[in-house]
Chains A and B, each alone.
Chain A
Amino acid sequence: DTGVSQDPRHKITKRGQNVTFRCDPISEHNRLYWYRQTLGQGPEFLTYFQNEAQLEKSRLLSDRFSAERPKGSFSTLEIQRTEQGDSAMYLCASSLVVGELFFGEGSRLTVL
């Protein structure tokens, strides 16, 4: 499968713990995005990479959230000191053409 893959698909954690999600984009795609989606809502932009450079980060994003894309390949999204409000589906997408995003199936986070 040459699509976008995300791991883990589902993470259950206790409040205050740190979690990390991984995204492997389509190999030739230089753009990589992270979004958050809650039930009944559209995706909410979190951050964007072009190659290894993080070019944009949502102003709504708490400093507990950090993302990396070393060497312009896979990316990780870490959430420190998780809160119940962080419970959501975390989506990764990659693209070659601006606006035409290929999404993974998401990583669902449940914070107890």
Chain B
Amino acid sequence: AQSVAQPEDQVNVAEGNPLTVKCTYSVSGNPYLFWYVQYPNRGLQFLLKYITGDNLVKGSYGFEAEFNKSQTSFHLKKPSALVSDSALYFCAHMDSNYQLIWGAGTKLIIKP
């Protein structure tokens, strides 16, 4: 079955350090990949997407993601973490019916 996987339930990073939240995909054909963030008691928010083109995609709040076809990965990155980045992050891919199939989420904790 086509899916995305987020191998880490939780990632802990010190404020100011670079952060990476991992996502791998198992999708036939060209994958359409997305990252969303869910802050505490807030709705999910779109961060960025990869459809085609440059492998490095820039999104909201200083986040970026790198599409790597050989490693079937779409990791989310930020050069310098903020405490306010602490949230739940979801990777998703779009299936052939244009519906999003979601990963289980990764809790990101940024410590001051």
Q: Which residues of A contact B (CB under 8 A)?
A: 3-4, 40-45, 48, 56, 91, 93, 98-106
Sorted from nearest, which 5 A-B pairs have the closest CB atoms? A42-B102, A103-B43, A103-B44, A105-B43, A100-B46
> Of the 9-residue stretches B13-21, B68-76, B79-87, B93-101, which lies at the interface with chain A?
B93-101
Complex CA–CA separation, A102 to B42 (angstroms) = 12
Q: What is the chain A residue whose CB lies nearest that of B51?
A: A99
Q: What is the chain B residue whose CB lies nearest that of A48?
A: B99
Complex CA–CA separation, A102 to B60 (angstroms) = 14
| Contacts A42-B92, A43-B44, A99-B34 known; 15 new A-B pairs at CB < 8 A | A3-B43, A41-B105, A42-B103, A42-B105, A44-B102, A45-B99, A45-B100, A91-B43, A91-B44, A98-B94, A99-B100, A101-B44, A102-B46, A105-B41, A106-B43
Is chain B's binding surface mostly helix, strand, loop or mixed?
strand
- CB pair B94–A99 under 8 Å, yes or no, is yes
- In chain B, residues 32-74, which have Cβ atoms closer than 8 Å to a Cβ of chain A? 32, 34, 36, 41-46, 49
Q: Which residues of B contact A (CB under 8 A)?
A: 32, 34, 36, 41-46, 49, 90, 92, 94, 97-105
- CB pair A43–B99 under 8 Å, yes or no, is no
Nearest-CB distance from B20 to chain A (Å)?
Answer: 19
Complex CA–CA separation, A106 to B88 (angstroms) = 15
Complex CA–CA separation, A101 to B34 (angstroms) = 10
Contacts of A40 in B (CB 8 A): 104-105
